[in-house]
Amino acid sequence: MSAKPNPNTSSLREAMKLAQRKAAVEPGLSADRSVPLEAIRLSPFQARRFFDPAALEELAQSLRLHGMVQPLLVRPAEGGFELVHGERRLRAARLAGLAEVPVVVRELSDQQAAEINLVENLQREDLNPVEETRGVLRLLGLRLGLAESEVVPLLGTLREAERGKVSHNAVGENESSIIFEVFSSLGRISLASFVSHRLPLLGLPPEILEVLEQGRLEYTKATAVARVKNPDARARLLREALEQGLTLVQIKERARQLAAAPAAGPKADLAARLALAGRRLRKVTLSPQKQREVDALLERLLAALEED
């Protein structure tokens, strides 16, 4: 199904051009001025969630020696400025102890600011697969005027229409045009690949999603580990994959062995789930109310075990 241009929607390419012009001087706007670091607040539209601490410290050391050469892109906000692009440099500047940083100030709407941030990050290929997937969904949501949760089923329906399994009328022409334009403009992943390989990443178990977001495991290996249904066995395989640097072939073989192993029975399964709960409990800080709730659950569990 072909995509028709949508004259009523601002082109994604326009956002890309705006991002490329971010350092240009325009009448009435400030460029390359220095502002206090504390006057800049983070953007709510940041696509990146994980920033490698070692890489940040390396950049911070460079900033201590040479200062910040490339200015940050910001927009006016109440009490100061809001970052549009350059969070990695901003975080490194804080680590470096800089008092001021150079900025380019632009008057931008929420949608313009979000699209610039997302497009810059997606085009530079410096996002991990999970961040990239969420970034594409956020960009599509902005362009379609929908919540991200509404975008996912729309993409699935459009993919089914491409495969001839549902009518092309199942998705409106306007929505189809916008979706195809976004994937065409990004030019790095097709709708089919995104639906088949990227969207499933968001449904991975939390412990696998965490290491994937941190860049400690490739997404093909992560999805292979996730196929192990038993939580305790899956956690073991994940640990082995990380500590031993297992290849994808080795991970798949281990997963097959675990799947072929005889079931441990309900009692062993319960013990594995309790062990997993214990590991998660060690990683979180409970509020007083949550602590009371957990205590009550444990008392009920112990009482049930004594009765048995």
Number of H helices, E strands in the chain: 14, 5
DSSP, collapsed to helix, strand or coil, labels residue 104 as: strand
Nearest Cα to Cα of residue 280 among 266, 269, 268, 294: 294
Q: How far apart are CA 272 and CA 45, in angstroms?
A: 39
Q: How far apart are CA 86 and CA 139, in angstroms?
A: 18
Please give the pLDDT value at position 63: 93
Give the residue ranges of the chain where pLDDT is below 70.
Answer: 1-32, 123-126, 261-269, 271-273, 276, 279-280, 283, 307-308
Amino acid of residue 298: L
Q: How far apart are CA 10 and CA 252, in angstroms?
A: 45
Nearest Cα to Cα of residue 140 among 126, 160, 158: 158
Please give the pLDDT value at position 9: 41
Please give the pLDDT value at position 4: 42
Averaged pLDDT of the chain: 81
Residues 144-186 pLDDT 10s? 989 888 999 999 999 998 888 888 788 888 999 999 988 888 7
Q: How far apart are CA 43 and CA 81, in angstroms?
A: 10
Q: How far apart are CA 85 and CA 70, in angstroms?
A: 11
Please give the pLDDT value at position 124: 64
Please give the pLDDT value at position 235: 92
CA 229 distance to own-chain centroid: 24
Q: How many residues does the chain have?
A: 308
Find out whether 57 and 16 touch, Cβ atoms under 8 Å. Answer: no
